[in-house]
């Protein structure tokens, strides 16, 4: 491998000649050969937004020339476009402040600018008015807010719309309800689906609320929150450029001592992701149980048959999309535990669990966005009710007795239900045998369409 010699304050080090990073990136590569999970691409993209905004703000206050700021801007745009993805090799499991990733970005930008004839120092120019201690928390919030806005919410809204279409398609179909895994009173199938729709919509509202907190940035706090070496008003200038670049309402956190050491906004936002995961788990379980069978289960729903389900049982088809949803939900819940623990570890003026927090949050966002689209396209949009099975179960249910309670009383109604169950008869036969109603009175009273 061809190398070149780079240097930093610790001395010289050989760096691969065909890459654009510098000495600090190389030291991190050699010192942290842990796990192999690289810094998420979303973090690098967020840094590219942040470094451009910082460069433009620094130019406004005279800390960079227009040429220097433009060189940084051009490099950042190329990075966001994915042109230099191979230049960001650092793993998650490094310094807890993310300093080496900040320097990786600084070094790559400086080398790219030098190739365009604009010499820049990674610390003095690209990192001007900044510290890793305020840039990584800011990049983390930018990445989290963008992942929610561009990945999770659109995918969840598409899933919500698919449930809305299913709800509208069967307005009059009545089925038996179930509580405690036991028969309950009837409801419309569309009412059940409306619950699934809202189980997606509600966490989306929570995520939009959480965006307000994610959009508060630490930038301008520099090392410990005092803003040392940052010009007055620099934080607002950077956020103004970020608003232009991203379309999101980024603004400075008013208390930088809070912003550098606390990850409460991330915990709050990931809580909404966990709420979505929990609700998706519920929906997927409902659907796979109601589609169980085809002959020996509930069999009230038909779902798409996407692939063979067994290597030994011919003809078996499984609810694989539902299973994928539930596995994603479990992973997101585990990620939430990691983020909560990491957020509790802020010591004095800095939280040093930032990369692991970023990794878990962005993994959750990617998984939820992907699984919402997969579940929608390969399952939900193909759901159809088994009307015959629904009607059979409805008419066979003993819980229709509930509508008799106002007429014959709770205890007499319970006696009817228990007799029908014990004798293996219909509810009507039990009521007639006990002489509590005539056949005409029963038919007039027990009407499922009036119970929903």
335-350 pLDDT tens trace: 999 999 999 998 999 9
Residue 1 has pLDDT above 90, yes or no: no
pTM confidence score? 0.96
Q: How confident is the model at residue 198 (pLDDT cuts 50, 70, 90)?
A: very high
pLDDT tops 90 at residue 254: yes
Please count the other Cβ atoms lying within 10 Å of the Cβ belonging to residue 312: 5
- List residues with catalytic annotation: 180, 310
pLDDT digits (tens, 9 = 90+) for 103-135: 999 999 999 999 999 999 999 999 999 999 999
Q: Where does the pLDDT of residue 219 fall: very low under 50, low under 70, confident under 90, or very high at 90 and above? A: very high
pLDDT at 315: 94
């Amino acid at each position: 491998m061809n190398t070149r010699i780079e240097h930093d304050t610790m001395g010289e080090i050989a760096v691969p000649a065909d890459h654009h990073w510098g000495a600090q990136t190389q030291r991190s590569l050699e010192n942290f050969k842990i796990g192999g999970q690289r810094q998420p691409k979303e973090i690098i993209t967020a840094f590219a937004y942040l470094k451009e905004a910082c460069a433009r703000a620094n130019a406004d206050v005279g800390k960079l020339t227009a040429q220097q700021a433009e060189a940084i801007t051009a490099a950042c745009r190329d990075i966001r476009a994915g042109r230099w993805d191979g230049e960001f090799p650092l793993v998650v499991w490094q310094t807890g402040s993310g300093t080496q990733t900040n320097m990786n970005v600084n070094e790559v930008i400086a080398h790219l600018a030098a190739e365009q004839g604009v010499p820049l120092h990674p610390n003095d120019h690209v990192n001007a008015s900044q510290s890793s201690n305020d840039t990584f928390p800011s990049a983390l919030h930018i990445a989290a807010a963008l992942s929610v806005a561009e990945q999770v919410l659109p995918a969840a809204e598409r899933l919500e719309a698919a449930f809305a279409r299913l709800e509208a398609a069967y307005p009059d179909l009545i089925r038996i309800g179930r509580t405690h895994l036991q028969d309950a009173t009837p409801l419309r199938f569309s009412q059940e689906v409306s619950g699934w729709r809202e189980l997606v919509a509600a966490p989306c509202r929570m995520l939009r609320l959480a965006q307000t907190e994610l959009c508060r940035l630490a930038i301008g706090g520099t090392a410990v929150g005092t803003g040392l070496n940052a010009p007055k008003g620099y934080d607002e200038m950077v956020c103004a450029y970020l608003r232009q670049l991203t379309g999101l309402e980024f603004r400075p956190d008013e208390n930088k001592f809070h912003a550098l050491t606390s990850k409460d906004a991330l915990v709050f936002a990931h809580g909404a992701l966990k709420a979505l995961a929990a609700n998706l788990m519920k929906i997927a379980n409902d659907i796979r149980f109601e589609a169980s069978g085809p002959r020996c289960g509930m069999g009230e729903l038909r779902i798409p048959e996407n692939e063979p389900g067994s290597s030994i049982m011919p003809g078996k088809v499984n609810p694989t999309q539902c299973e994928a949803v539930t596995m994603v939900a479990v992973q997101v819940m585990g990620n939430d535990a990691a983020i909560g623990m990491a957020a509790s570890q802020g010591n004095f003026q800095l939280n040093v669990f930032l990369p692991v927090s970023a990794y878990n949050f962005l993994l959750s966002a990617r998984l939820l966005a992907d699984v919402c689209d997969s579940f929608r396209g390969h399952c939900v949009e193909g759901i159809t009710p088994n009307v015959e099975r629904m009607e059979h179960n409805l008419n066979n249910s003993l819980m229709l007795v509930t509508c008799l309670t106002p007429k014959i009383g709770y205890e007499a109604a319970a006696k009817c239900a228990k007799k029908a169950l014990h004798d293996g008869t219909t509810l009507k036969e039990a009521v007639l045998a006990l002489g509590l109603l005539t056949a005409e009175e029963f038919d007039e009273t027990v009407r499922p369409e009036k119970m929903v």
